[in-house]
Structure 1
């Protein structure tokens, strides 16, 4: 008889998800392979998720709910699972992203995580550590689901021109990433401005930062170091960074000119060259 790993559903959101998936599958009278065939996944993957060795994705959860008639249970649970898999120091930031009505961020050297493509994420997260890269990528991408809410936040992004040239991954990755940015060109809620090299000295020379604004709570400023995050609602810091952000937006290119620059960099730096894509 095969050994069945018995999970403690109270150990973590991931364990609870695995416990519920197994319970629902067995109630439906399906083996792991049978459920995998229905969902177009392997039975091995079903087993890994049921034993909390693999992180489920939102897509998997939607399919499993439909197949098992679980009324959206797994789709609701996966949000908790993915947030629990974030580094402990970053979980509060994910909660701020989920609650904010407005997110204003300045980025000095790379595209903000809320706007990153899957291959760009892999390039960022895999720079020093390739372990569990699929799961870590899925967890980061899941943060972007805040834009699918009925009332998504307004997001203002000022990004240094340097980030367009910093080749994360390869040229194809960067071409895809810049194409993704251009997809928001006419979005009223996701606004991207490029701070050009020609701006010279500017109000963001001390580094990247993000302002989170809420319907009723105080504004929070977030800055980040190596493996550490620093959110604060200190009024002086908020006032200073709000002023800095206003100056950065004023120094940046307009939304239209920013899109034109992104398009030009994409074509000239990452387009086809000498017949090579």
Structure 2
């Protein structure tokens, strides 16, 4: 007789998701393989998600909701599941991202997580090892769903030119990542500015930080070190970081000129497939 892993639905959001998936599947009289065939996934994957060994995706959740008639239950749960997979100290930040009406980010070394491609995110997260890399990458990318909401937050992202040259994951990964940044060039909700090398000394030399602005609540600023993050609503801190951000925006290239610089770096530094890059952007 096959051993069935018994989940405690109160152990974690992922366990609760798996418990509910199994409960609704069995109520429908379907095996894992049969459900997999219906939603175009393997029965093995269904089993791994039911036993909390694999993270569900938004697409998987939507397909299973439709197949089992769950009224969108799993689609509502998947966001909570993904957030629970983030480091404990970062979960509050993900919550701030999901509620914010406006987000301002400054990153001097890497593309911000909200704008990373899957390959770039995997390369960044693998820097300290491959343990649970698939799930960690999925959890990071899941944060980006806030940009697809009916009323998404307005995102301002300032990167130093060094971010464009820091070769994360190889040239192919970087071409894909820079192409992703360019894809937002005409999106008024996502604005990317580059702080060029020629700027020299600038207001962001102390490191990266984010500012979250809300419809009714006070703004919150966030910074992090190697081990943890530091969100605060202290008015003095918010005012200080907001002033720094104003100076960074003034020193950075315009959105249009930033896109031109990104294209130039793509050609000069990652141009092995220059012709195809041009075809893609034409």
The TM tier, using the shorter chain, reads: over 0.9
Q: State how far apart, in whole Å, the 2-side matches of 1:274 and 1:143 are.
A: 31
Q: State how far apart, in whole Å, the 2-side matches of 1:164 and 1:6 are.
A: 48
Q: Deviation of residue 8 (structure 1)?
A: 1.2
Task: Give the structure 2 partner of residue 205 of structure 1.
Answer: 205
Q: State how far apart, in whole Å, the 1-side matches of 2:4 and 2:207 are.
A: 50
What SS class does the counterpart of residue 127 from structure 2 fall into? Answer: coil
Residues 1-277 of structure 1: matches in 2 within 5 Å?
Answer: 1-272=1-272
What is the TM-score normalised by the length of structure 2?
0.95
266-275 or 17-26, which deviates more: 266-275
Count of residue pairs brought into register by the alignment: 277
What is the TM-score normalised by the length of structure 1?
0.97
Q: After superposition, what is the alpha-carbon deviation per residue over 1:197-253, rounded to whole angstroms, capped at 9, x for unaligned?
A: 000000000001111111111111100111200001111111111111000000000
Q: State how far apart, in whole Å, the 2-side matches of 1:252 and 1:274 are.
A: 26
**Aligned-pair RMSD on alpha carbons?**
1.5
Q: State how far apart, in whole Å, the 1-side matches of 2:274 and 2:229 are.
A: 44
Q: State how far apart, in whole Å, the 2-side matches of 1:7 and 1:244 are.
A: 49
Q: State how far apart, in whole Å, the 1-side matches of 2:227 and 2:24 are.
A: 38
Q: After superposition, what is the alpha-carbon deviation per residue over 1:85-139, rounded to whole angstroms, capped at 9, x for unaligned?
A: 1100000000110111110111001100000000000000011120111111111
Q: After superposition, what is the alpha-carbon deviation per residue over 1:31-74, rounded to whole angstroms, capped at 9, x for unaligned?
A: 11111122222211111111111111111111111111212111
2:267–2:274 Cα contact (<8 Å) kept: no
Q: Deviation of residue 150 (structure 1)?
A: 2.0
Instruction: Please identify runs of 4+ aligned residues in structure 1 that moved more than 4 A.
Output: none
26-35 or 92-101, which deviates more: 26-35
Q: State how far apart, in whole Å, the 2-side matches of 1:274 and 1:68 are.
A: 47
Q: State how far apart, in whole Å, the 1-side matches of 2:11 and 2:49 are.
A: 15
